[in-house]
Chains A and B, each alone.
Chain A
Amino acid sequence: VQLQESGPGLVKPSQTLSLTCAVSGGSIRSGGYYWSWIRQHPGKGLEWVGYCDYSGSTYNPALKSRVTMSVDTSKNQFSLKLTSVTAADTAVYYCAAYNFGSGSSPDWFDPWGQGTLVTVSS
């Protein structure tokens, strides 16, 4: 499985950030993954944003009121929407597969997309 993010690199304050992650090399419906977004503020660490599959989604409580994720099985991709953005949402956004491995719950993030920088500025 390979992942590739796409979307605008510049978003105005108060608007909605929208990103898509295309999944190749496998079906998004195949199971064994939760489809995830992780962001990294410039020069900072990794922050999990949320994950989804075709049955639902789970979000970081700190972002929950502004985040929506969804899976589009027809296009083999998943998406992130973050509303009411501010400069604090400027970050590199990674999509990643939260991998179940051989267990019954998700465990590690692999693979990752290359990341896309989203800047919030007027």
Chain B
Amino acid sequence: DIQMTQSPSSLSASIGDRVTITCRASQSISTFLNWYQQKPGKAPRFLIYEASILQSGVPSRFSGSGSGTDFALTISSLHPEDFATYYCQQSYSTPTFGPGTKVDIK
């Protein structure tokens, strides 16, 4: 199995802050990396696929980057609705998720 790690596990930020979450794979996965947002009591929402392509309807303040083993999700300016937990997921082999990064209000 390909193991996924994320850092930080949690962060506190303010409205308008630029936030970057990193995701690392235990082996190269090219750009087979997706990002999801989950709010309490809700199913995950699909945000970004193939490392950097925004799903339709996702605000442009979200962006993804990376290839190989190291990836990042950036929110350029935090909005109130962005406080949530974010997960990465690799699809290079049988799917695995990162442990999540919780973004909460400072």
Contact = CB atoms under 8 A, between A and B. Distances in A.
Interface in B21-42: 32, 34, 36, 42
A110 B95 CA distance: 13
Contacts of A48: 94-97
Contacts of A106: 91, 95
Contacts of B34: 107-109
A112 B46 CA distance: 9
Contact of B87 (A46, A96, A107): A46
Interface residues of B, number: 21
Contacts, number: 54
Residue in B49, B50, B95, B96 whose Cβ sees the most chain A Cβ within 10 Å: B95
A46 B44 contact: yes
A114 B1 contact: no
Contact of B43 (A94, A98, A105, A107): A94
A48 B43 CA distance: 14
Contacts of A112: 43-44, 46
Contacts of A56: none
A114 B50 CA distance: 24
B73 to A, nearest CB: 14
Interface of B: 1, 32, 34, 36, 42-44, 46, 49-50, 55, 87, 89, 91, 94-100
Interface of A: 45-48, 58, 60-61, 94, 96, 98, 101, 105-115
